[in-house]
Amino acid sequence: MDRDRIERAVRELLIGIGDDPSRAGLVDTPRRVADAYAEFFSGIGVDASVLVHDGAVPAESGEIGDLVIVRDIAFRSVCEHHLLPFLGTAQIAYAPGERIIGLGTLARVVDAIASRPQLQERLGESIADAVQQGLAARGVLVVLDAVHGCVTTRGARQTGSSTVTLAARGSLAEPRARAEAVALIGARPSGAPGTTAAGDAA
């Protein structure tokens, strides 16, 4: 990441909107924006499927279960259309093959893919691909629910609006299995048959 170039661009942006980048309140803004962008876009170039593969562990057949669901993984990303943030939660379900992955690793995968200029639709698809490829899972389902800055702060300013997207792979792309997984994701009481909560195996 070229921090000097970001700082120069921010100064030009401030001039472009008619403000003075040398005034006291703005003099450190280019550096602060560069710091923020280094964090917001730290996932550029990261292969998330490798993160999944490296964070997975073998499991005995009796330990796997039919379905693993990890709910409410918080994420933040930046919309590539307006460079405004969108914030939300990811729900990930997968039907294990011979390997499982811990909650901590799944959260890192979501963060890596979210930390680049994104569209919510592509974010969900990319998470699903990374989990399926990295785990060789029999099926994957990713549900994202996010609030977009470009919707809440500009245009119609729909402050109460959120966007839900769904991406499915393998066995969980089948309508019945997908519907059952979505229902389990929404069923907050624990102990649903055939469902296990993922611990932090990594």
CB atoms within 10 A of CB 85: 16
Range(s) of the domain holding residue 189? 48-197
Contact assessment for residue 99 and residue 135, using Cβ atoms and an 8 Å cutoff: yes
SS (H, E, C) 39-72: HHCCCCCCCHHHHHHHHEEECCHHHHCCEEEEEE
Q: Are residues 8 and 100 in the same domain?
A: no
**2 or 62, higher pLDDT:** 2
Q: Is the pLDDT of residue 137 over 50?
A: yes
- Identify the pLDDT of residue 151: 86
| Longest Cα separation, the chain | 65
φ, ψ of residue 17 in degrees (nearest 5): -85, 0
Q: CATH number of the domain that 7 lies in?
A: 1.10.286.10
202 lies in a domain?
no
Instruction: With CA atoms as reference, report the closest residue to 118 among 44, 169, 50.
Output: 44
175 lies in a domain?
yes
Structure pTM? 0.87
Look up residue 17 and give its DSSP letter. Answer: T
Q: Are residues 74 and 171 in the same domain?
A: yes
Tens digit of each residue's pLDDT (9 = 90 or more) over 32-77 = 999 999 999 999 999 999 999 999 988 776 667 789 999 999 999 9
19 lies in a domain?
yes
Q: Are residues 13 and 93 in the same domain?
A: no
Confidence of residue 157 (pLDDT cuts 50, 70, 90): confident
Q: Are residues 52 and 118 in the same domain?
A: yes
Q: Are residues 65 and 18 in the same domain?
A: no
Cα separation values, 137 from 23, 125, 152, Å: 55, 15, 37
Q: Which residues are catalytic?
A: 79-82, 120, 148, 150
Q: Mean pLDDT in the chain?
A: 90
> What's the average model confidence in pLDDT over 119-134?
96
109 lies in a domain?
yes
Q: Are residues 143 and 163 in the same domain?
A: yes
* Number of domains within the chain: 2
Q: Are residues 104 and 57 in the same domain?
A: yes
- Identify the pLDDT of residue 160: 85
